[in-house]
Amino acid sequence: MTTAPPEGPSAAARDLIDLDLGTLNREVFESGPLLRTELATVFTRSWLFLGHESRLSRPGDFTTAVMGQDHVIVTRSRDGRIRAFLNVCRHRGMRVCRADSGSATRFTCSYHGWSYDGTGALVEVPNHDDGYEGRLPLDRWGLVPVTRVESYRGFVFGCWDEDAPPLAEYLDGYRGVLDWATDGLDEPELVGPIKWRLQGNWKLAAEQFANDTYHPQTAHLSATSLLGVNMPTEGRELGSRYGHGWTIILPEDPNYAAFTFGRDPDSAEPGHQALIHGTVFPNFSMLGDRVLRVWHPRSVDDMEIWSWVLVDASWSPEQRRQAMRMATLTFSSTGIVETDDSENWSEIQAVGGGHVTGRTALNYQMGLGSTTTGDPAVPGFTGEVGHILNDVGARAFYRRWLELMEGPAPTLPQTAPAPMPAPSGR
Amino acid sequence: MTATPTTTISTQSFRPRPPEAGPVERPRPVDPAEQHEIEQFLYFEAQLLDEARYSDWLDLLAEEVAYRMPSRGNRLHRDLTREAGGPGDLGHYDEDLATLRLRTARVQQTVAWSDNPPPRVVRAVTNVQATRPPDRGEDVFAVRSVVNAYRNRLADDTDHFTGFRADVLRRGPEGLLLAERTVYLADSVILAKNASLFL
Ligand code: FES
Ligand SMILES: [Fe+2]
**Pocket residue to mutate for ligand 1, from A94, A106, A115, most atoms within 8 A of Cβ:** A94
Mean per-residue pLDDT over chain A, rounded: 92
Residue B14: pLDDT band by 50, 70, 90 thresholds?
Answer: confident
pLDDT tens profile B92-116: 999 999 999 999 999 999 999 999 9
Q: How many residues in total does chain A contain? A: 426
Measured between beta carbons, the chain B residues lying within 8 angstroms of A325 are: 94-95, 99
Mean pLDDT score, A371-396 = 91
Mean pLDDT for A71-90 is 97
Q: In A, which residues are within 8 Å of B69 by CB distance? A: 334
Question: How far off is chain A from B159, nearest CA to CA, in Å?
Answer: 11
8 A C-beta contact, residue B130 and residue B143: yes
All residues at 6 or more sequence positions from A365 whose CB lies less than 8 Å from its CB, including other chains: A21, A22, A23, A391
Indicate which ligand has the atom closest to the C-alpha of A341.
2
Q: Which residues of B touch A (CB under 8 A)?
A: 69, 71, 73-76, 79, 87-95, 99, 102-103, 105-107, 109, 111-115, 154-155, 157, 188-196
C-alpha A21/C-alpha A401 separation (Å) is 17
Write the pLDDT tens digit of every residue in A232-285: 888 999 999 999 999 999 888 888 888 877 666 666 565 567 899 999 999 999
CA-CA-CA-CA torsion for B44, B48, B50, B55, nearest 10 degrees?
Answer: -160
Interface confidence (ipTM) of the complex: 0.94
Spell out which residues of chain A touch residue B191, defining contact as CB-CB under 8 Å: 196-197
Summary mean pLDDT of chain B = 93
| Record: contact A100-B194, CB cut-off 8 A | no
For residue A417, cis peptide bond before it (omega within 30 degrees of 0)? no
Q: Decide which of A271 and B153 is more confident.
A: B153
- The set of long-range contacts for A370-376, using a CB threshold of 8 Å and a minimum separation of 24, is A371/A239, A375/A236
Q: With an 8 Å Cβ cutoff, is A348 touching chain B?
A: no
Read off the pLDDT of residues A297-325 as tens digits, 9 standing for 90 and up: 999 999 999 999 999 999 999 999 999 99
pLDDT (0 to 100) of residue B61? 98
Residue of B nearest to A322 (CA): B94
Which of B74, B94, B114 is closest, CB to CB, to A339? B114
Q: Which of residues 265-304 of A touch B (CB under 8 A)?
A: 304
d(CA A330, CA A249): 19
In short, whether A377's Cβ falls inside 6 Å of ligand 1 is: no
A112 lines ligand 1 (CB under 6 A): yes
The predicted structure's pLDDT at residue A259: 82
Mean pLDDT to the nearest integer, B50-73: 97
Q: What are the backbone angles phi and psi of residue B43, rounded to the nearest 5°?
A: -65, -40
Could you tell me where the beta strands, DSSP code E, fall in B44-134?
A: 61-69, 93-95, 120-131
Residue B4 has pLDDT above 60, yes or no: no
**Interchain pair B93, A328: CB under 8 A:** yes
Best of A304, A328, A329 to substitute, by most chain B Cβ atoms within 10 angstroms, is A328
Average pLDDT over residues A118-128: 97
Chain B neighbors of A309, CB-CB under 8 A: 90
pLDDT score for A264: 65
Q: How confident is the model at residue A92 (pLDDT cuts 50, 70, 90)?
A: very high
For A313, other C-beta atoms within 10 Å of its C-beta total 14
- The confidence band for B5, taking pLDDT boundaries of 50, 70 and 90, is very low
Record: contact A196-B189, CB cut-off 8 A = yes
**Ligand 1, atom nearest to A114 Cα:** 3
- Ranking A71-85, A160-174, B10-24 by mean pLDDT, the lowest is B10-24
Q: Judge whether residue A219 has pLDDT over 50.
A: yes
> Inter-chain contact A342–B114, Cβ cutoff 8 Å?
yes
* Residue A8 confidence class, pLDDT cut points 50, 70, 90: very low
Selecting from B74, B92, B109 the residue whose C-beta is nearest the C-beta of A222 gives B109
Domains and CATH numbers, chain B: 32-185 (3.10.450.50)
Pairing relationship of beta strands B93-95 and A274-280 according to DSSP bridges: unpaired
pLDDT tens figures, A23-48: 999 999 999 999 999 999 999 999 99
Chain B touched by A224 (CB under 8 Å): no
Is domain A48-149 annotated with CATH 3.40.50.620? no
Check residue A266 and give its pLDDT.
Answer: 66
What distance in angstroms lies between residue A217's CA and the mean position of ligand 2's atoms? Answer: 10
User: Which fold is adopted by the domain A172-406?
Assistant: Naphthalene 1,2-dioxygenase Alpha Subunit; Chain A, domain 1 (3.90.380)
| Model pTM score | 0.95
CA of A231 to the centre of ligand 2 (A): 12
For the stretch B154-187, pLDDT in tens is: 999 999 999 999 999 999 999 999 999 999 999 9
- Alpha carbon of B86: minimum distance to chain A alpha carbons (Å): 11
* Minimal-distance CA residue of chain B relative to A192: B90
Instruction: Quote the ligand 2 centre to B73 CA distance (angstroms).
Output: 27
Q: What are phi and psi of B76, to 5 degrees?
A: -70, 160
The distance of B106 to chain A (nearest Cα, Å) reads 6
Residue B1, pLDDT score: 31
- Sorted by where each begins, the domain ranges of chain A are 48-149, 172-406
Distance CA A13, CA A43 (A): 15
Question: Which SS3 state, helix, strand or coil, does residue A14 take?
Answer: helix
Residue B77 has pLDDT above 90, yes or no: no
pLDDT at B54 over 80: yes
Residue A3 has pLDDT above 60, yes or no: no
Minimal-distance CA residue of chain A relative to B199 = A334
Q: Which residues of B touch A350 (CB under 8 A)?
A: 154-155, 157
Which of A114, A127, A132, A144 has the most ligand 1 atoms within 8 A of CB, as the residue to mutate? A114
Inform me whether the C-beta atom of residue A329 falls under 8 Å from chain B C-beta atoms: yes
A131 pocket-lining for ligand 1 (C-beta < 6 Å): no
CA angle A31, B157, A227 (to 5 degrees): 100
- Beta-carbon contacts below 8 Å between A and B: 128
Stronger pLDDT, A289 or B47, i.e. the higher one: B47
Closest CA to B194 of B75, B106, B66, B87: B106
Measured by CA distance, the residue closest to atom 3 of ligand 1 is A112
Give A335's contacts in chain B (Cβ within 8 Å): 194, 196
